[in-house]
A and B are shown apart, each in its own frame.
Chain A
Amino acid sequence: MSDEQRPDFSMIIASAVHDMKNSLSMLLHSVEQMCDELPEEWKQRQNTTTVQYEAERVNSYLVQLLGLYRLQNEMLSLHVDEYFPLDVLEEQVAHYEAMFKDKDISLTIDCDANLAWYFDREIILGVLNNALNNASRYTKTRIEISAILEEKFLKIEIHDDGEGYPQRLLDATPGEIINNINFQTGSTSLGIYFAAMVTKLHTQGDRQGSIKLSNGGKFGGGVFTINLP
């Protein structure tokens, strides 16, 4: 096969992701329409939120997969612009609203409406999506997302009241995380690896973005922190 004919793998993933997202959209719409026609007592069941939740997960993995592939090939460039963290947080929370209601999890946002900051919206949405997804699996009753400006960094924290992160994750570097993927438990930690990689791409002068996992926080559970310069 000559060089010209060799397919560009990034293109293949990109177009596959694109098609799959369209399919997911279709799937979600159909589920929603089907649910509307269901008898009242059936609607109380949680099957629909499970479908939505899993679709969000698939969606988020797809985006991460593409992002990581591009990162590896150094093709991922950021589109940094100024955004309102509150808007971005509210948009991300909207994805999970129905599910949290079903699971009786309370979700609050603590962020100044006028706070504006610079980042790649799409990428940070992806990171938040994954963090929320994770938190929703392990929290018991509540999640709080806060965003403040601290020493020229935008600091976003996601607090839950679950058991907290296992020690091996707290100690691991991103490289170790990706090498310790555990296919048996289904916890691939891909999301954490992705978050670590893409926040690092956010730089301003000699300052660099980062993520941090810790335990304790407001509710004694896990805390996922994003720092953006």
Chain B
Amino acid sequence: MTLEAVQLSQLYPKLKFLVIDDFESFRSSIRLMLSSFGAQHVDMANSAEDALEKCKYEFYDIILCDYNLGDGKNGQQILVDLRLNKRLKHIHLFIMITAQTAKDVVLGAREYLPDGYIAKPLTRPVLEQRLSQLIQQQEALKPINNEIDLNNHTKAISLCHHLLSEDTRYKSWCLQTLGKLYLEVGDTVNAIKIYANVLSTREISWALFGMGQALVQEQKYKQAIASFESTIQNNPNMVEAYDYLSRCHLKLGHKKEAQKTLEDAVILSPRMVPRQEKLGSISNKNNDIKTASEAYRNAIEFSENSIHDKPENYLNLGRCLSDWSDGDLSDEGKEKASEAVDVLNTLSNKFSNNEDACLNATLIEARVHFGQECKEAAEEKLYQAECFIEEDDLSAEVGLEFSKTLYSLGQQDRAEKLLIDLAGKFENQAEIIARIEELLDEPEGIKERKQAQELNKSGITAFEQGKMDDAIEAFESALIFTPKHAALNLNIVQVISKHYKENSDPTLLKKAKQYLKRIQHIPKQHNQYKRMKHFNKVIGKLTK
């Protein structure tokens, strides 16, 4: 059933329009066109700010928005903003007017897609044609969209089924919506059924993507990865699929693949700040400082004047640059160090009310100076920070930063004591304990950590192959880089205890005791604590 022209002309006077364009002549020309179709309520906005302000006070049935609005936010950002702030319901229409070909507009999250595009140059007959199509569709689907807006998922699902049973023109829309609704209520069985059905006739990106989402909900990450990979193959611009793919890789422990996937996504759509932050954090964990720095740099650049402008990004970039420039006195190293200082100063100016952030910035700066062999400047910064630090009343963030700086500046004992206190204080917070362990194990710079990790890996391989001497040698070389690494020390003790039973070499036993002694300081919250206690006993017995 389609709406006749008569009905449309009756509809136009009731609809509220908003036209967003930065050119006066375009706005008035579109307004004239709309009036000629019968529209009576047409508001206009000349910028994103203007548009968002108008939408605060009024729900518009149809928004016509130019994608390119000169400086400031573009049309897509307006759309996201409106959807996020619930100023645009499902029953409303958001239509993007664009001079870009669709290929240039990277597809963001599917829920942030406009309801329709109209290509420039825009003429009256074309606008009339497109609008009538979109209004007809919107009218036909209004009962369903209404229920979705009211969060009545069950009702919306049954309405979709009803419409499907009528052999509707909007079959594909119904299937797509049904899939999403089933996912939202957690009915993965029915969601998968719908997607599988669609996919049995044609590989279509929304169905591949939905299938992946359903599999993620069922925690079948391997299968989900296959779905998202097909989605991307089908539509390389669907950036949301990369995010999901990366998350699946992380769930399976594929850190490298997770990073690579996000890097691809960031090339497609660099302006999404949360994605840049995630890339920064993953590549940092992968010891890829270069990528991490770039990601945090972008996060800072693209979050300017937005809610995403957070001190963490500045601190993280400062940390990356501090690690990167550590001990590098070449011109490149100096450059990195001075960039770090700049970033940290920007933070202190911008977020001067955030005491913890400013303290952390000062502590990181101390490390940067020390890494450049400016000992005095480093001590000075440390002293500056200490004036504000009360050791009994430390937040986890400042505590960790403080101890890291103490390590770097050569105050190992103080750092260790601080960390052990923190472990007691935050013993129920797994994430903080994990970071404490990391610092206790590897307070050294990133270059040392990287080498130790490589050697540890080859040691484990040798151990598994039964090559005890090779294993001991690899672990010992690793310990040169990170001597206090709990797991590493215990690895070597474990190899020795096994090896000793075969050759009873007393020098080996002596070594094992030394290694154990190195890590007796770890707090009981440390994940290697039980293992250490165990080997204390094992070696004790062997000594008798």
Q: Which residues of A pack against B, CB within 8 Å? A: 14, 17-19, 21-22, 24-30, 32-33, 52, 55, 59, 63, 66-67, 70, 76-77, 79-82, 84, 87, 90-91, 94-95, 97-98, 113-114, 116, 118, 121-122, 125, 204
Complex contacts, B122 vs chain A, CB 8 Å = 25
Q: Which residues of B pack against A, CB within 8 Å? A: 2, 23, 25-26, 29, 68, 99-104, 119-126, 128-130, 133, 167-169, 171-172, 202, 204-206, 234-237
* Count: A-B pairs, CB below 8 Å: 97
Q: Pick the residue among B29, B123, B130, B236 that contacts A52 (CB under 8 A).
A: B123
Instruction: Please determine whether B104 and A25 come into contact, CB atoms closer than 8 angstroms.
Output: no
Complex contacts, A24 vs chain B, CB 8 Å = 120-121
Instruction: Please determine whether A63 and B236 come into contact, CB atoms closer than 8 angstroms.
Output: no
Q: Complex: how many Å from CA A34 to CA B54? A: 31
Tell me the nearest residue of chain B to A114, going by C-beta. B169
CB within 8 Å for A118 and B100 given contacts A21-B120, A25-B120: no
Instruction: Please determine whether A113 and B235 come into contact, CB atoms closer than 8 angstroms.
Output: no
Instruction: Please determine whether A116 and B172 come into contact, CB atoms closer than 8 angstroms.
Output: yes
Of the A-B pairs whose beta carbons lie under 8 Å apart in the complex, a sample of 5, sorted by A's number, is A18-B100, A29-B29, A33-B29, A80-B234, A122-B101
With a 10 A CB-CB cut-off, give which of B103, B171, B204, B236 has the most chain A CB atoms.
Answer: B103
Distance from A18 Cβ to chain B, minimum over Cβ atoms (Å):
5
Tell me the nearest residue of chain B to A112, going by C-beta. B169
Complex contacts, A204 vs chain B, CB 8 Å = 202
Q: Complex: how many Å from CA A14 to CA B276? A: 26
Q: Complex: how many Å from CA A84 to CA B136? A: 13
Instruction: Please determine whether A77 and B126 come into contact, CB atoms closer than 8 angstroms.
Output: no
Complex contacts, B29 vs chain A, CB 8 Å = 29, 32-33
Instruction: Please determine whether B25 and A18 come into contact, CB atoms closer than 8 angstroms.
Output: no
Leading 3 A-B pairs by shortest Cβ distance: A94-B125, A21-B99, A25-B121
Instruction: Please determine whether B119 and A77 come into contact, CB atoms closer than 8 angstroms.
Output: no
Complex contacts, B169 vs chain A, CB 8 Å = 84, 113-114, 116
Distance from B107 Cβ to chain A, minimum over Cβ atoms (Å):
8
With a 10 A CB-CB cut-off, give which of A19, A32, A52 has the most chain B CB atoms.
Answer: A32
Distance from B304 Cβ to chain A, minimum over Cβ atoms (Å):
23
Distance from B361 Cβ to chain A, minimum over Cβ atoms (Å):
32
Distance from A117 Cβ to chain B, minimum over Cβ atoms (Å):
10
Q: Complex: how many Å from CA A178 to CA B505? A: 83
Instruction: Please determine whether A59 and B126 come into contact, CB atoms closer than 8 angstroms.
Output: no
Q: Complex: how many Å from CA A21 to CA B172? A: 32
With a 10 A CB-CB cut-off, give which of A14, A25, A82, A95 has the most chain B CB atoms.
Answer: A25
Distance from B140 Cβ to chain A, minimum over Cβ atoms (Å):
12
Complex contacts, A14 vs chain B, CB 8 Å = 101, 104
Q: Complex: how many Å from CA A32 to CA B205? A: 41
Instruction: Please determine whether B99 and A22 come into contact, CB atoms closer than 8 angstroms.
Output: yes
Instruction: Please determine whether A95 and B125 come into contact, CB atoms closer than 8 angstroms.
Output: yes
Instruction: Please determine whether B204 and A82 come into contact, CB atoms closer than 8 angstroms.
Output: yes
CB within 8 Å for A118 and B202 given contacts A18-B100, A28-B121, A94-B129: yes
Q: Complex: how many Å from CA A25 to CA B122? A: 6
CB within 8 Å for A29 and B25 given contacts A82-B204, A91-B126: yes
Distance from B285 Cβ to chain A, minimum over Cβ atoms (Å):
29
Complex contacts, A21 vs chain B, CB 8 Å = 99, 119-121
Complex contacts, A30 vs chain B, CB 8 Å = 25
Complex contacts, B102 vs chain A, CB 8 Å = 79, 121-122
Complex contacts, A76 vs chain B, CB 8 Å = 103
